[in-house]
Structure 1
């Protein structure tokens, strides 16, 4: 298949993807000959067929036929496949050059091309220089570049890796290569996997290939389902299919559609959500957990002011007023106040996906940064999306982390920088949750990152405890007849019940009924469990968590009445006393 453009347009680059336009414009400046493409390099790319119809193919096909279709020679190389050419003519020419190379150096490359990088790059350089001296135009596409110039300290590289690194570095600023018509394209999924000597080289142009946009997914869905009656295949219209598959590559989208077509499974919203969840979690290799919200903020008991603030944010998102959205939220308060539940309910309020950071760190050098890069690329494709980070004070680290060659410090800097990018305002909403916001670095709490600080507290009144009891009854599926007021059943002197405590009481009551051979939970069951139940008691820790939440809260209306009028200096002194008593220094 060869690419032929039938109509000349004012801008010959207009039909190309944005990343390809960026590459072409950099090439036309004649200051760069080496390009590092990273990101969705395994995805399909749009191709213009001979009959002017639209098609899709691999990135290497796109590069050889769309971008470099007019070059005299296009070559490919990777460790696995070795040296290959895009056309039979180039293959014959390469064999002729190799025959001369064999005669000069006593090798036998005309018959069997070398695959190892040390010899293969020497062969390629010889061919490039010979044809450039004749005024020919060339392109060399090197796949799996991370296996040739891996990230890490140079002192840890093998002698062959050092040779390859030096060769790539030399090619990037070689006068003959810069003056001639040659393009060297390196392909890698993660920029962090590539040696900084290449990725940060001023003579190398890193270009990200993003996951397809909604418009590009719609284009692919139309192509995939062309000639088929959509009504007989799907409950979801074409535009809906494109919108609901945010975060998927064209290959992933093809997998979903092909499976549905071949197995004659009707495409529904539920099927799309489930397949999307499976694919994204598989792609992230346990780096993210994809959470489908099942509740709205109506399911949250108490916290009236916090719910009001989040509802206002949800309303702004629904109206598309992203410019008024906070970059992120910090939710603090004692353990068991429902911070995680409230975040998932906020996402359910507007129907956006929620992802939760899992352990993306690795003991292997460079892997942590690569994992983080993969997460960021996915978040950019998924928006609007809520990002949930539990126990943020310990999970995110800080700039002063040491003992791991600076990895933790770099990771913290990357997260802080990504969180603070105003380009993503309203598109990626961050929720940092912690019972100890005082331990969270100021870098993440300042304006421009986690801007709104919401504090949640245990129920303060009998009315709030009764409301929480009703919510927990629905959540656990445990209903108790004849209960006018849950608070009246709580033994005297025990009032600091958290939502987690009430949920535990409900589960115990159900267990007691089943042990007695009954399905229904009675008032006596609940009263007996409450009489026996002793809430975990950590008075100093809970007091400290309450006070630091008060310190961090950015809205006076969120504070319980007992905390609104307390002098801030008094709170600060008491926090210091509690830390000393708990031996926190």
Structure 2
């Protein structure tokens, strides 16, 4: 007995319900399909359309396929011969042989197919029609602005969905599109259509493919890969079978044994290419040990890291909101957490487009990849501006739909401990409550400028290492020790770079304490005291753990904080 993928089993169940005849398959539809023969313990990998025609629709009398470029083609010679016997002139002669090339444009093809379907269904035949690249035939567009050809194609397919003769017969139409958002919404949302997502291979399927590629020989796998088959399957999360084949074939053909380093680099290259620059991997060689200051926050994140490493992702929050004034190292902290926990971290790039339907299609591809890559951490910087909100308008509702899609995905409890969200912002008040509530970014971490002498010295030493500053004596400027001014990490980095410049101008390789003192005395960082105070108080108000707050904020009353925030906002808005 053959065992089909989960999506194919779902397809079969929905078809047997006898309530619809149209199916839209989307997602990983350009990949190979794995089938298992349980009794003979065999596995096979087929092209997607071949699997549909030869396996899923094997009992059908006729299987016809169509795409806009290739036109009409057939599963087998029997289907082809039967189609031409039924064709009217001028496409076929009296003997049922081709006379003229078949049309390729939907406006001519769909009516021609409908005539053939009706003829054969009246005879009791079973028919399946597979329409590939459906987004080129019924693209996502407002019906009032869509081309006449697209509207005609949509009407034809909607008629097929609801036709009593088609519904009563053994007749099925399958539309193939990588992104569901690329298709006309009237068809996708029709109750006569079932949209089924084809996911990327899971770990067990990747392990099966790896063994199949190497003819089931573990020794052959180890001859070309340092990681074991289990680890190799685990580390290739997010890759399709075709991408995995490319990775393995590259190693075999070039006689380059796969190592962890080459595997990570190749996987990154393949996923970024697949994502079309929608995702960017965040590479970091740092851990939380490299973060200066923020002791309580680091302790909290280390606890999360340990829970994840011990397989207790179920106890982790769905996501974190990291807030604090500019220059407090929010992005660096999150990057270091990824290095600490050992999971890949990605940053969402600009997936928005001016073209209708492209933005939602890009988002669909991103979320599919994130699900397949899990466990993975997702960093969204300037989240207040990047994610928008549910009330966004002015773009035909695209922004509100994008927001709703992201919010829904973030709250999927099945991804707890698998997809870790980090939303970073200096203005958490501008973020919708929907994203900050429990079940989404439920832990709110607040970062602040160094508060104690110990923290100031720690950040000073960290910035010395980062800027490559070498002193004549290992001393700390008085302005740092005594905290005469408040410096962010970015401010301190700028000041130390300026001190190196002064030393170089004087022909010196090392920086003396005197030069440092002069530099800090002269240094005036760009300062916006009202904005910084506002961002600081917003972070205090947003923090969900009193233990993570510095002593000076820990016992402030929320009413007093809210009142001061209102005053600052009025000042900044010029009211």
- The TM-score with structure 1 as length reference comes to 0.93
The equivalent residue for 2:212 is 223
Deviation at residue 499 of structure 1 after TM alignment? 1.0
Equivalent residue runs for 1:215-364 within 5 Å: 215-226=204-215, 229-364=220-355
Compared CA separation, residues 393 and 23, structure 1 to 2 (3 A): same
Indicate if the aligned counterparts of 1:248 and 1:280 stay in contact, CA closer than 8 A.
yes
Separation of aligned partners in 1, 2:481 and 2:439: 46
Deviation at residue 231 of structure 1 after TM alignment? 3.0
The equivalent residue for 1:502 is 492
Deviation at residue 169 of structure 1 after TM alignment? 0.9
Compared CA separation, residues 528 and 491, structure 1 to 2 (3 A): farther
Indicate if the aligned counterparts of 2:84 and 2:97 stay in contact, CA closer than 8 A.
no
Matched, 1:25 2:16: no
The equivalent residue for 2:552 is 562
Matched, 1:577 2:533: no
The equivalent residue for 2:131 is 142
The equivalent residue for 2:4 is 16
Aligned Cα root-mean-square deviation (Å): 2.3
Indicate if the aligned counterparts of 1:295 and 1:345 stay in contact, CA closer than 8 A.
yes
Deviation at residue 290 of structure 1 after TM alignment? 1.0
Deviation at residue 288 of structure 1 after TM alignment? 1.6
Indicate if the aligned counterparts of 1:388 and 1:430 stay in contact, CA closer than 8 A.
yes
Indicate if the aligned counterparts of 2:85 and 2:92 stay in contact, CA closer than 8 A.
no
Deviation at residue 274 of structure 1 after TM alignment? 1.0
Indicate if the aligned counterparts of 1:347 and 1:386 stay in contact, CA closer than 8 A.
yes
Paired residue total: 571
* Structure 1 gaps, min length 5: 1-7
The equivalent residue for 2:398 is 407
Secondary structure of residue in 2 paired with 1:295: coil
Indicate if the aligned counterparts of 1:329 and 1:454 stay in contact, CA closer than 8 A.
yes
Matched, 1:90 2:79: yes
Secondary structure of residue in 2 paired with 1:139: strand
Compared CA separation, residues 537 and 103, structure 1 to 2 (3 A): closer
Match of 2:109 among 91, 99, 120: 120
Deviation at residue 102 of structure 1 after TM alignment? 5.2
The equivalent residue for 1:369 is 360
Secondary structure of residue in 1 paired with 2:87: helix
Separation of aligned partners in 2, 1:545 and 1:386: 25
Deviation at residue 517 of structure 1 after TM alignment? 5.1
Indicate if the aligned counterparts of 1:384 and 1:428 stay in contact, CA closer than 8 A.
yes
Deviation at residue 339 of structure 1 after TM alignment? 0.7
Secondary structure of residue in 1 paired with 2:138: coil
Separation of aligned partners in 1, 2:359 and 2:375: 25
Indicate if the aligned counterparts of 2:313 and 2:418 stay in contact, CA closer than 8 A.
yes
The equivalent residue for 2:445 is 454
Indicate if the aligned counterparts of 2:4 and 2:35 stay in contact, CA closer than 8 A.
no
Deviation at residue 506 of structure 1 after TM alignment? 3.2
Compared CA separation, residues 479 and 275, structure 1 to 2 (3 A): farther
The C-alpha deviation readout for 1:21-75, integer Å capped at 9, x for no partner, is 0001111111121110000111111246999742322110111111112221111
Compared CA separation, residues 108 and 509, structure 1 to 2 (3 A): farther
- Segment of structure 1 superposing worse, 278-287 or 267-276: 278-287
The C-alpha deviation readout for 1:325-383, integer Å capped at 9, x for no partner, is 11111111110111111111111111111111111111111111111111110111111
Indicate if the aligned counterparts of 2:453 and 2:483 stay in contact, CA closer than 8 A.
no
Compared CA separation, residues 235 and 581, structure 1 to 2 (3 A): same
Indicate if the aligned counterparts of 1:393 and 1:436 stay in contact, CA closer than 8 A.
yes
The equivalent residue for 2:532 is 542
Indicate if the aligned counterparts of 1:509 and 1:521 stay in contact, CA closer than 8 A.
yes
Match of 1:76 among 51, 65, 86: 65
- The TM-score with structure 2 as length reference comes to 0.94
Separation of aligned partners in 2, 1:327 and 1:581: 36
Separation of aligned partners in 1, 2:128 and 2:357: 29
- Segment of structure 1 superposing worse, 73-82 or 230-239: 230-239
Compared CA separation, residues 118 and 523, structure 1 to 2 (3 A): same
Separation of aligned partners in 2, 1:571 and 1:143: 59
Matched, 1:43 2:31: yes
- Segment of structure 1 superposing worse, 201-210 or 402-411: 402-411
Separation of aligned partners in 2, 1:285 and 1:103: 44
The equivalent residue for 1:3 is none
Indicate if the aligned counterparts of 2:91 and 2:102 stay in contact, CA closer than 8 A.
no
Separation of aligned partners in 1, 2:491 and 2:278: 31
Secondary structure of residue in 2 paired with 1:155: coil
Deviation at residue 99 of structure 1 after TM alignment? 4.2
Deviation at residue 300 of structure 1 after TM alignment? 1.2
